[in-house]
Structure 1
Amino acid sequence: MKVLVTGASGYLGGRLCHALLTRGYSVRAFVRPTSDLSSLPPPSAGGASLELAYGDVTDYESLVAACSGCHVIFHTAALVEPWIPQPSRFFSVNVGGLKNVLRVYKELGTIEKIIYTSSFFALGSTDGYVADETQVHSGKFFCTEYEKSKAIADKIALEAASEGVPIVAVYPGVIYGPGKVTSGNIVAKLIIERFNGRLPGYIGYGNDRYSFCHVDDVVEGHIAALNKGQPGGRYLLTGENASFKLVFDIAAVITETKRPLFSIPLLVIEAYGWVSVLFSRITGKLPLISPPTVYVLRHQWAYSCEKAKLELNYNPRSLKEGLTEVIPWLKSLGLIKY
């Protein structure tokens, strides 16, 4: 079976390509000509073949050419940032890209299944409760343009499923783990800031909640969605619901260092975010913290992955187990010291 992975050079996409190859799949990695390919395995890794196809999910002709001869599409490509200077790009990539994938499915007639990587943001916040796959974003308020784009794309995916398209939507939580240190790996980024002294305190007061999931568990969930996921099904590939305060506390235990002594109020972080956005417009480098990041921090994002456990045999590791792997990995790269 030949599978196409869009966004193959990304944090999640690269790990997915590795896992698919080790299981004997023939993988075609869809990447942009300017993509950093360092996260991809070398050709013929694991005894199976890896093929590169160049293009962009916003370029329909390049996408249809890449999909030719493939039986499955893993659509992981997305623009994942809390803030960018041209927010319209979120919609051209995250919404337009999915529309192009669905158009390819209809045109080729040979695609047997689409595994679409959505996001917990597509379901909306969960202030005071834990949500499952039955939740649909209300659409009344969005913390970020990224959240808005993923919610719109989610509705498109659900509509396609209702029309008989064999699409399975998976919703990862806050992904962390070894791999590229990008905005999609925000946990690693914040740990780096913490141990380099640029983030001396906790973020907020510890009443935030996120569903943290290790990247390799999410990859396993994607492959299980291919083999066991029901067409039209929705599966939360999340994990332990916890705060970033707990992340920092676990990191202190693992490294045998002191915990932060104080919390940084969100108003202070928001002010820093506005300054960061100003410098970003001058330098062209995207900020780690921006005002939309703070809007997200003011809400809770807690989810249950019981359906994925039951139907996909999804087995997420604990946050402590995952961080016990990640922190020494960051140290081995020289990104943190302790």
Structure 2
Amino acid sequence: MSDNKEFLSEKSSSVKNILIIGATGYIGGALCRQFSHTQDFAVLALVRPSSNIEAIKPFCKEIIRSQEVEISNNDVAEAIRKHDITTVINVAWHMPPEPTKEAQFAKDRIALEAALHGARAVSPDIHVITTSGNFSLITTAGGRITEIPPPKGYRWPEYLVCFDLLSGVNVLKDALVEEYISNGGNASIVYPSSVYGCAPTRGSFWDFAIQQFITGKPYQGYQPFPPDFMTAWIHVEDLADCYIAAARKGSKGGHYLAAPENLSISQISTLFAKAAQVEFLAPVFENKDKVIFDDSHTREILQLQWKYKVADEVKVWVKRIKELGTYFLE
């Protein structure tokens, strides 16, 4: 465990303790850093016994190691009771990815169910914030995408077939959360769009996905995305601010979309290539499904203003990828 005296001296007695599961990951590391800068929250991280905690230690009031190989309901419940936790955030995702969504779901649901059921075992008032993905919201109808979950039985557009694993897993995990909420549980879902930028720990999925699109070659077993792949983008620190706002709001059944900038894979890769000073002729992009992400409702109810823009941050992003050793463009 880590006992950070700096937090004890700087934070007042009114500070709420927040428990983060998945704190050593890309988004989790950014959450630890951003929450530590607030005046009303202190960070406690619940990690696996094998997790490397060095990068997040400066931001955590305490780091709790799971008693088991995987995080359990008892780990979460014990942490809540011992440290008077008011909010649990789960951003854990099993890495490396499994070959099928069913196998991935079997791994991912462990931490998710531990967060939900561990909180419920202590008090129905404990707020659990879970993480999904914006691709889970897109249907064949396309058009304006908000934080409203799609109806059961919906189909994805053809260009999203390549993303079946992650989207399919998120849909399955969302169903667990919706069932928890319908049974009286206090939970919310955050839908991050494609996340970029610098975090204290490892890099983003998009660090290599953008580069493989520019080269047009498979990388680490993945095929490049199709040119008409439409998404939205959010800086990892803006996303962390969304979680902070959701924690402050504490609304049962909240659904929040964090999607500031609508850019296709072709458009984002053009910006990336320019920042990396490599030649790249982007395919012509046609938004055939007329997909537009609209997070105005989330911004209104959480009183959020996004600080970052891709065009301003892409050079720093490329520099960070080089520092991580994940840069492979010629």
Partner of 1:5: 20
Rate the CA distance shift 1:130–1:79 in 2: closer, same or farther, 3 A.
Answer: farther
Q: Is 2:226 the partner of 1:212?
A: no
Percent of residue pairs identical: 21
Partner of 1:50: 62
Q: Distance in 1 between matches of 2:180 and 2:46?
A: 23
Partner of 2:78: 65
Partner of 2:51: 35
In the alignment, which of 188, 192, 198 is matched to residue 207 of structure 2? 188
Q: Distance in 2 between matches of 1:147 and 1:206?
A: 18
Q: 1:101 corresponds to which letter in structure 2? A: A
Partner of 2:126: 112
Q: Distance in 2 between matches of 1:101 and 1:248?
A: 36
Q: 1:236 corresponds to which letter in structure 2? A: L
- Secondary structure of the corresponding residue to residue 179 of structure 2: helix
In the alignment, which of 160, 175, 183 is matched to residue 155 of structure 1? 175
**Are the counterparts in 2 of residues 203 and 245 from structure 1 also a CA contact under 8 Å?**
no
Q: Distance in 2 between matches of 1:161 and 1:333?
A: 39
1:8 deviation in Å?
A: 1.0
**Are the counterparts in 2 of residues 181 and 188 from structure 1 also a CA contact under 8 Å?**
no
In the alignment, which of 68, 79, 89 is matched to residue 74 of structure 1? 89
- Secondary structure of the corresponding residue to residue 221 of structure 1: helix
Q: 1:151 corresponds to which letter in structure 2? A: V
In the alignment, which of 292, 313, 327 is matched to residue 303 of structure 2? 313
Rate the CA distance shift 1:11–1:107 in 2: closer, same or farther, 3 A.
Answer: same
1:204 deviation in Å?
A: 6.0
Quote the RMSD (CA, aligned, Å).
3.3
1:17 deviation in Å?
A: 1.0
In the alignment, which of 283, 295, 303 is matched to residue 293 of structure 2? 303
TM-score, length of structure 2 as denominator length: 0.76
Rate the CA distance shift 1:61–1:172 in 2: closer, same or farther, 3 A.
Answer: same
TM-score, length of structure 1 as denominator length: 0.74
Q: Deviations over 1:150-189 (max 9, x none)?
A: 212212322332343221211101111113445xx12212
Q: 2:191 corresponds to which letter in structure 1? A: Y
1:261 deviation in Å?
A: 6.8
Instruction: Within 5 Å, give how 1:125-204 maps onto structure 2.
Output: 125=139, 128-136=142-150, 138-141=152-155, 143=161, 144-179=164-199, 180-181=201-202, 185-193=204-212, 203=224
Gaps of 5+ in 2: 1-15
Which is worse superposed, 212-221 or 109-118? 109-118
In the alignment, which of 137, 140, 150 is matched to residue 123 of structure 1? 137
Partner of 1:272: none
1:58 deviation in Å?
A: 5.3
1:78 deviation in Å?
A: 2.3
Q: Is 2:53 the partner of 1:20?
A: no
Q: 1:50 corresponds to which letter in structure 2? A: E
1:87 deviation in Å?
A: 4.8
**Are the counterparts in 1 of residues 32 and 43 from structure 2 also a CA contact under 8 Å?**
yes
Q: 1:35 corresponds to which letter in structure 2? A: S
Q: Is 2:257 the partner of 1:236?
A: yes
**Are the counterparts in 2 of residues 217 and 314 from structure 1 also a CA contact under 8 Å?**
no
Rate the CA distance shift 1:122–1:7 in 2: closer, same or farther, 3 A.
Answer: same
- Secondary structure of the corresponding residue to residue 73 of structure 1: strand
Q: 1:92 corresponds to which letter in structure 2? A: A
- Secondary structure of the corresponding residue to residue 71 of structure 1: strand
In the alignment, which of 253, 259, 273 is matched to residue 252 of structure 1? 273
- Secondary structure of the corresponding residue to residue 178 of structure 1: coil
